[in-house]
Amino acid sequence: MKNLMVNLFSIVLLSACVGNATSDKSVELEVLVKSKEIVAKDITRLHEIPTVIIAKERANLSFLLSGTIDKVLVKIGEKVEKGQILLSLYNPNLDPSIANNLAQLESIKVQISQAQRDLLNLKELRKNNSTSRTAYEHKETELKNLQAKEKAIKAQIDLAHANQQESLLRAPFDGVVVSVTKQVGEFVSIGQIVAVINQPNIGEIEVNISKQLHNGLQLNQEITGTYENKTVKLRITELSKAADSTSHLMKVVLELEQAASDKIGQELIVQFPQIYKNVYQLPLESVIDDGINKPYVFIAKDNRAQKSYIKPLYITKGMIVFASPDGISDPVVIKGQSKLSSGMRLQQN
């Protein structure tokens, strides 16, 4: 009887223990987190690119003749007027060729006058049959040859005078001398740059950018920049149609919308916009990225933690901008996510 009582007590105690264990398993802990509703929107990112302001009207000047610099008539920084002589070139072949051709021209003119008189005489003699037709035609041909020589010599003289003018380097427009690269006595080849002048009233910049930035731009579009911590406005005047074969970048030319006479050669930071459509923005710590798996955020789906994979785009001022392949319609966990794993029950704050 005593053994029976002990067995019954053991069975009751075991049943109680099993019941308590089952009760403990049914209790599921909730993790306290902070969540936030987010919506997709278009976000504009400004890419700051350093550039240098240059004059819109600028000219690299060179001679069309070779020779030695004879005179340098201007200095760097000097203002010049259109047509003003900047440098002169000495070519020893210019003056003698003009003198020789002028002497030949005078001689040809004398010969032409004599031939014309001879031809008139022969014409009178032909009326009386006092000379042959062959002699008349011979003199006529001689006159034509002399006139052709006269024309050729005049052309050579005109060319020599043109070359003589080419020995004078003139300013193509009103401007400022930026550089003079040759001095008196130095030899200059044809086409070699000897001076540079700018017209500094209008400034522009040339910059090469990526195709992604280029695709969002249009002619005459207004772009902002910063010069000496002040905002300046620029207008797009040229857009390249193709990328450079080496750098794979595309050229853009922008013009300053204000006077630039004191800004030429100075640095200007241009802000090119890039628009990201239907993207999200969250504090950077909201994203989990262990460097092995794809980055993701936890969303609160029916109060349970669920991973939502994202595509990071860029980070700015502690915020991350990203795209979501599937979209995000549930609250995103922004604090407490380090304690989570998929499926855990959440208590949202």
Tell me the CA end-to-end span of the chain in Å, nearest whole number: 61
Binning pLDDT at 50, 70 and 90, where does residue 72 land? very high
Give the per-residue pLDDT at 235: 95
Residue given tokens 């989570």 in the structure block: 340
Give the per-residue pLDDT at 37: 93
How far is the C-alpha of 150 from the C-alpha of 16, rounded, in Å?
Answer: 136
**Domain 29-44+278-348 belongs to what topology?**
2.40.420
How far is the C-alpha of 347 from the C-alpha of 147, rounded, in Å?
Answer: 111
Mean pLDDT of 2-30: 46
Give the per-residue pLDDT at 94: 64
pTM higher than 0.85 for the full model? no
Give the per-residue pLDDT at 23: 44
Give the per-residue pLDDT at 162: 66
Give the per-residue pLDDT at 167: 82
Binning pLDDT at 50, 70 and 90, where does residue 17 land? very low
pLDDT digits (tens, 9 = 90+) for 140-149: 888 888 888 8
Binning pLDDT at 50, 70 and 90, where does residue 1 land? very low
204: phi > 0 → left, psi -120 to 50 → alpha, else beta; which?
beta
CATH of 47-55+200-273, one of 1.10.10.10, 3.40.50.2300, 3.30.300.130, 2.40.30.170: 2.40.30.170
Binning pLDDT at 50, 70 and 90, where does residue 95 land? low
pLDDT digits (tens, 9 = 90+) for 168-221: 899 999 999 999 999 999 999 999 999 999 988 889 999 999 998 998 899 999
Q: Is the pLDDT of residue 21 over 80?
A: no
What is the 3-class SS of the chain, one letter each residue?
A: CHHHHHHHHHHHHHHHHHHHHHHHHCCCCCEEEEEECCCCEEEEEEEEEEEECEEEEEEEEECCCCEEEEEECCCCCCEECCCCEEEEEECCCHHHHHHHHHHHHHHHHHHHHHHHHHHHHHHHHHHCCCCCHHHHHHHHHHHHHHHHHHHHHHHHHHHHHHHHHHCEEECCCCEEEEEECCCCCCEECCCCEEEEEEEEEEEEEEEEECHHHHCCCCCCCEEEEEECCEEEEEEEEEECCCCCCCCCCEEEEEEECCCCCCCCCCEEEEEEEEEEEEEEEEEHHHCECCCCCCCEEEEEECCEEEEEECEEEEEECCEEEEECCCCCCCCEEEECHHHCCCCCEEEEC
How far is the C-alpha of 272 from the C-alpha of 293, rounded, in Å?
Answer: 33
Mean pLDDT of 122-128: 78
Counting residues of the chain whose pLDDT is more than 90, the rounded percentage is 52
CATH no. for 58-90+168-195: 2.40.50.100
Give the per-residue pLDDT at 238: 94
* Count of CA atoms in the C-beta half-sphere (13 A) of 60: 4
Report how far apart, in Å, the C-alpha atoms of 116 and of each of 121, 143, 150 are: 9, 7, 14
Mean pLDDT of 72-84: 93
Give the per-residue pLDDT at 25: 44
Give the per-residue pLDDT at 139: 82
How far is the C-alpha of 58 from the C-alpha of 42, rounded, in Å?
Answer: 41
pLDDT digits (tens, 9 = 90+) for 268-321: 999 999 999 999 999 999 999 877 878 999 999 999 999 999 999 999 999 999
Q: Tell which wins on pLDDT, 91 or 45.
A: 45
Copy the structure tokens of residue 147: 């006139």
Counting residues of the chain whose pLDDT is more than 70, the rounded percentage is 88
